[in-house]
Amino acid sequence: MRLKDKVAIITGAAHGIGKAYARRFTEEGAHVVIADIDDAAGAAVAKALLDSGGSAWARRTDVRSFADVQALTEETVRRFGRIDVLLNNAAIYVTEMLWKGPVEELAIDEWDRVMEVNLKGVFLCSKAVIPIMKQQKSGKIINIASGTFFSGSGNMPHYTTAKGGVVALTRVMARQLGDWGINVNCMTPGSTMSEESVSDEVLKRREGSTEKRAFRRIETPADIVGTALFLAS
């Protein structure tokens, strides 16, 4: 087991790819903390993982609130004694309707909404765990960005900009934290079938990305979790 007795906080782990990360990490022996604003779904995922023999605990967490994130990290340390991995996965994309269209037509409050979760949330969660990891002189921070950052695709100016900010923040933190033995990395998945219920529109959008790939099929969470496991191990 590559993560035996490691303590991993995964934000946004109640749905989609986050849930797949949580399942794989528990299979590898980690104590997984499911931090998600969807309290009921997070509790259901934790119960399923416990029922299958894993170690999991869910706490409702709003990554936009530093007080909430601090409370999460403090309770995690009280329960498990340490924090070895932070996987910053929470984002507005699958579970909420995301606006698409030209930059000049993007509503300001929509821009702010996405930035608060998809970029500021990564900053706040990292800010909360870094002092703990520095004290331990070890830790892994894994940030989830997006392949749209490289291509400008997807017709989502706010989403793509936020994910580009995640890449930049990762690079800064990696340089700042190496002296404490803290690894900081970023993953940039492409279009992935992470929805729990799939409409014809979603399926068509996912299928549209296959022509540009070496493997001409829709990407699934199972294609991604191995990379996260490697970076956490």
CB 57, CB 46: distance < 8 Å: yes
Distance (Å, whole) CA 89 – CA 17: 8
Active-site annotation holds for 93: no
**Selected catalytic residue, list 159, 182, 219, 224:** 159
Helices assigned H by DSSP within the chain:
16-27, 39-51, 66-80, 108-115, 121-136, 148-151, 157-177, 200-208, 225-232
Would you tell me how many other CB atoms lie within 10 Å of the CB of residue 1? Answer: 10
Q: What are the tokens at 92? A: 């507005």
**CA quadruple 145, 151, 152, 153: dihedral positive or negative?**
negative
- Catalytic residue numbers? 159
